[in-house]
Amino acid sequence: MDSENDIERGVNDPRNEREDEDKDYDKPRAARIIEVDELMKWSFYRAILVEFVASFLFLYITVQTIIGYKRQTDPTKNIEECGSVGLLGIAWAFGGMIFVLVYNTAGISGGHLNPAVTFALLLGRRVTLPRALMYILAQCGGAIGGCAMIKLFQRAYYISYGGGVNELYQGYGRGTGLGAEIIGTFILVYTVLSTTDPKRNARDSHVPVLAPLPIGFAVFMVHLATIPITGTGINPARSFGAAVMYNRKKTWDDHWIFWVGPMVGAAGAQFYYEHILRAHLTKYHHHRHITH
């Protein structure tokens, strides 16, 4: 049964004037494709810097965890396997770092940290094209820098244990890997869109504060499911940074999966959330969005 709270007031809605005090929430205006004014603002470049540094830290910690795990489980080292972090620890490293970094950067750059997330928000007109492109460049650059730092300090281990690259593991085909990346990214982006929905934020004041938590858990859960298949990409910058620094032919053979999969998954999540879950808000009548 519909309620007044399910009505989204639109532009030029006369109720905005007479019921302004009772407005449930304000839906952000769609971003322009190109906003010249933002290119002149320090906040634009500060956000790019934040995305670079966050991606740097993300790759440094997570790839370091992967290499540490592989060294601890190396049969030639005679190290007790139960002393390693295990696959569960790797998943926690990725999910935990996303939680920490999104929490720290959300107020400055939006806490994207992932070209797939940026692509979805671009499709949803929540960021401009120049900002999206610069974010993706910053994310990829930061990812390369994080892996470069690890390689610089422990080159032997980095090379010996695969540099934390994403690749198809034995027994899995390209179709399976691509499907895992699409579905995994769909879950992540769906969670991002849900937890940052302005209407949801208006109804629950705790959502803006807690948004990084479900996002981090989504990353954690996807890693548990897909580490055995592809090592879990769901972030083209993460896959690209590791591949660039490790730079072996086998690494690049299936690298396209870690771009195509996340971008398709992100686009699918954006379409599903905007045109199916929120479809009841898209019908206009006398400059109003009305729920049916």
What is the pLDDT at residue 210? 77
The pair phi, psi for residue 3, each rounded to 5°, is -135, 165
What's residue 14's pLDDT? 47
User: In DSSP terms, which residues pair with 18 in a beta bridge?
Assistant: none
Nearest CA-CA partner of 278 in 153, 190, 186, 163: 190
Contact call for residues 188 and 216 (beta carbons, < 8 A): no
Give the helix/strand (H/E) hosting 43.
helix 42-72
Please tell me the predicted confidence (pLDDT) of residue 1: 39
Predicted TM-score (pTM) of this structure: 0.84
Cβ atoms of 268 and 191 within 8 Å: the answer is: no
Tokens 């601890």 locate to: 72
- pLDDT over 70 for what percent of the chain? 80
The residue type at 284: Y
Structure-model confidence comparison of residues 26 and 51, the more confident one: 51
Q: Closest by alpha carbon to 99, among 168, 188, 28, 6? A: 188
pLDDT at site 62: 97
Kindly list the distances between the CA atom of residue 255 and the CA atoms of 142, 233, 236, 267, in Å, as whole numbers in the listed order: 19, 10, 9, 19
Asked whether 279 and 182 are in contact (CB, 8 A), the reply is no
Q: Give the pLDDT confidence of 52-89 residue by residue, as tens digits.
A: 999 999 999 999 999 999 888 877 776 665 667 889 99
Average pLDDT over residues 22-45: 76
Interatomic CA distance for residues 132 and 30, integer angstroms: 14
How many helices (H) and strands (E) are present in the chain, helices listed first?
A: 13, 0
- Measured on CA atoms in the order 199, 104, 84, 247, is the torsion positive or negative? positive
Exposed / middle / buried, residue 256 (Cβ in 10 Å: 0-12, 13-18, 19+): exposed
pLDDT digits (tens, 9 = 90+) for 204-247: 555 555 788 999 999 999 999 999 999 999 999 999 999 999 99
pLDDT at site 7: 40
141: number of CA atoms within 13 Å, CB side? 12
Indicate the Cα dihedral angle 177, 182, 186, 192, nearest 10°: 80
**pLDDT digit string (tens) for 126-159?**
999 999 999 999 999 999 999 999 999 999 999 9
Question: Amino acid identity, residue 75?
Answer: P
